[in-house]
Structure 1
Amino acid sequence: MDNLITDSRYSWTRLALTLCVGTVINAGMWAIIVIMPAVEAEFGGSRAMASLPYTLTMIGFATGNYVIGRAVDRFGVTLSLIVAAAVTALGYGLATLSGSLVMLSLAQLIVGFASAVGFGPLIADVSHWFVRRRGIAVAIAASGNYLSGAIWPILLAGVLQESGWRSVYLVMAVATLALVIPLAFTLRRRIPEEAHAAAQHASTLNARSSGLSPRTLQYLLGFAGIGCCVAMSMPQVHIVALCVGLGFGPAVGAQMLALMLLGGVASRIVSGLLADRLGGVRTLLIGSCLQCLALFLYLPSGGMVSLYLVSLVFGLSQGGIVPSYALIVREYMPAKEAGARVGFVMMATILGMALGGWLSGLIYDLSGSYHLAFINGIVWNGANIAIMLWLLSRSRPRAPRAVAA
């Protein structure tokens, strides 16, 4: 294996480093969820207004996936990571100076935009270094996002309780600069041209079999991503607020979120192994159906034990969905455009999370409960399932060959 460019010992080392980077810098996406009850208590306002900083975070995260993805295609991942880490730390610092929800939301827009480098752009970068094991590699790289959400809230729970949410953000600013920038220099090596050529050949054949242009497929995947992530956002964004409303407290909600995300990590690994056999479309379809089932299970759940169990089931069901979009992009679209194309589809999924997070808060304000919010997610999930079934009926993807050094 050592004589290969792709799937080599270096590829796996690079994947491990990528996972470490993602676990640190993706915290920008999750921090606002954990502090949301404290922010609502400090600034007041409705549940929908308290969700505004999260929505702006996700809008920034979505845009950053596309913009920084294009930058990675042009300038490489190292420079992109260094700049993004500095801007993320700046956003954390500005957030600590906020005197209103509007100011905090604008700061979160910056945090979300810059921390996006740890998701779609990193996934696209590491996907170039694998062919036979691309599914599991992409799944592991994407797991940095969930590990971040599972680890950092637990690590910083004491800081939040004793010193408040502003101290949490100062700690994250220092951690981002101290950990991400040194790791960025370990990812300086670029993929050789011959590896791009082999991937290009396979993706051209796949695109031809589907009868769809890369642009058309990109938009179709974007809409599918919005559908599945509106559904996904209901438990992920509002589980802490749901637990507070039921009288269980924010600590219980944070534990459920961590359990959900750890289940998502396990799900991503299993889905990655499955994707190496079945391909991205089939794997995404399986995950989407399981997620829909898990959302139904939330409807009758109202006790602490049942919510713990269903949150674990939800995490185990949906973790492989978003990484599968990156695999579909790599199977059907030009390799040299991977950063921008993966970034666009990841942008759509994150916009779905932002829309779903806001919609769930609005539905709660109008109805007084989250029951209809779960039903809203199920409907959006159904649209995603329909698109994947249609795409599966049109094509049979081919894999590229491994490339020797």
Structure 2
Amino acid sequence: MQSWFVLKRSRASGIATAGLGLGTLLLPFTIGRLVPGLGWRGCFISLAVVIAVIGLPAAMLVRKRPDANSPSEPRSVLPGPFTVWRDSRFRLFFSMLVLASFCTFIPYVHIVPAAHDMGLSLESGTILIALIGIGNIFGRFVLAGLGDRIGSLRLLAILTLGVACSFLLWSVANGMVMLVLFSLLFGMSYGGCVGLYPAVAADLFGTRHIGTILGYLYTAVGLAALLGPTMAGLVFDKTGSYLGPILFSMVAALAASFLTLRLRQK
């Protein structure tokens, strides 16, 4: 996607990644309704058929834009998993992704039990997950595109700050209203960030090896997905409260926003 767009790269990236948010919103509810009739094995088979019929043909149609350089120009060397660390921008971006992603997976795992601990029903918790998905789609479709106007890095810093503010709302929440506000703000901010990550990487490192660069960068997201919810669960088991993980997530997002500004200066 990044190789085909320059002037409206942020908008294109946001729209393309909105499919992730839409799938996260629709498929869990669809599968939940189908499980009683089809069973979990039948649902897995159904998903496999959908991926085979729709996903594989769509993937085969994807094309990378041909290099604009003439054949006489030397081709750049494919960056390796260790050589990329020599670039200070890569180190900053990777660190920012670890901090930002550490907190973003915690609500998906713990917002439902946290709402239940407040005395809310299981249905209320699932509504909060749906609201995160709705905000996520809005952030990718609408907010990410603003990066073409004010700068993708500047907008990424603002939206990461928005993630931090959402966790501040969660820390003082005492009922459904505050949790709804948290879910919407978190979903919009996080969705916009995810839509901007590929565009920011393309602006910083170019599009020649953007797939490789994104692969290296997104290992930070995998690391954060492993650590964030797990540590939040361990802390809750020890203390009986989510306040500690929530405040730590807020600080992590604030630090990620600061690193994004540093990245912009570089």
Alpha-carbon separation, structure 1, partners of 2:127 and 2:42: 20
Report the equivalent of 1:336.
Answer: 208
Q: CA deviation at 1:344?
A: 1.6
- Partner in structure 2 of residue 284 of structure 1: 156
Tell me if the contact between 2:169 and 2:181 (Cα under 8 Å) persists in the aligned partners.
no
Tell me which of 303, 314, 317 is aligned to 2:175.
Answer: 303
Deviations 1:170-213 (A, max 9, x none): 432332223212222332x441221xx49xxxxx9xxxxxxx98
Which structure is higher in RCO with an 8 Å CA cutoff and minimum separation 6? 2
Q: Does structure 1 conserve the Cα–Cα contact (< 8 Å) formed by 2:139 and 2:191?
A: yes
Cross-structure match for 2:28: 153
TM-score, scaled relative to structure 1: 0.58
Identity %: 28
Distance 1:375 1:316 in 2: 20
Q: Secondary structure of the equivalent of 2:6?
A: coil
| Alpha-carbon distance in 2 for matches of 1:133, 1:141 | 12
Structure 1 counterpart of 2:66, from 187, 192, 200:
192
- Show the counterpart of 1:383: 255
Aligned mates of 1:233, 1:241 — CA distance in 2: 14
Structure 1 stretch 169-178 or stretch 143-152: which is displaced more? 169-178
Shift of 1:266: 0.8
Q: TM-score, structure 2 length as denominator?
A: 0.85
Residue 53 of structure 2 is matched in structure 1 by 178
Q: Please tell me whether the aligned partners of residues 322 and 349 of structure 1 are also in contact (alpha carbons under 8 angstroms).
A: no
In the alignment, what sits opposite 2:108? 236
- Equivalence for 1:209: none
Task: Give the Cα–Cα distance (whole angstroms) in 1 for the partners of residues 220 and 118 of structure 2.
Answer: 32
Cα distance change of structure 1 residues 225 and 365 upon mapping to structure 2, 3 Å threshold: same
SS in 1 for 2:96: helix
Is 1:370 the counterpart of 2:245? The answer is no
Alignment RMSD, CA only?
A: 2.6
Deviations 1:297-335 (A, max 9, x none): 011213233322321122122221133222221112142
User: CA offset at residue 249 of structure 1?
Assistant: 4.2
1:272 Cα deviation (Å)? 2.4
1:50-78: per-residue Cα shift (whole Å, max 9, x none)? xxxxxxxxxxxxxxxxxxxxxxxxxxxxx
**2:80 corresponds to which residue?**
none
Q: Does 285-294 or 349-358 show the bigger shift?
A: 349-358
Quote the Cα distance in structure 2 between the aligned partners of 1:375 and 1:163: 41
Q: Which residue of 2 aligns with 1:144?
A: 19
Question: Matched residue of 1:299: which SS?
Answer: helix
Letter paired with 1:391: L
- The CA deviation string for residues 350-389 of structure 1, in whole angstroms up to 9 with x for no partner, is 3223211111111111111211110110121122122122
Matched residue count: 255
Residue correspondence of structure 1 range 187-226 to structure 2 within 5 A: 187=62, 189-194=63-68, 197=69, 215-226=87-98
Amino acid at match of 1:343: G
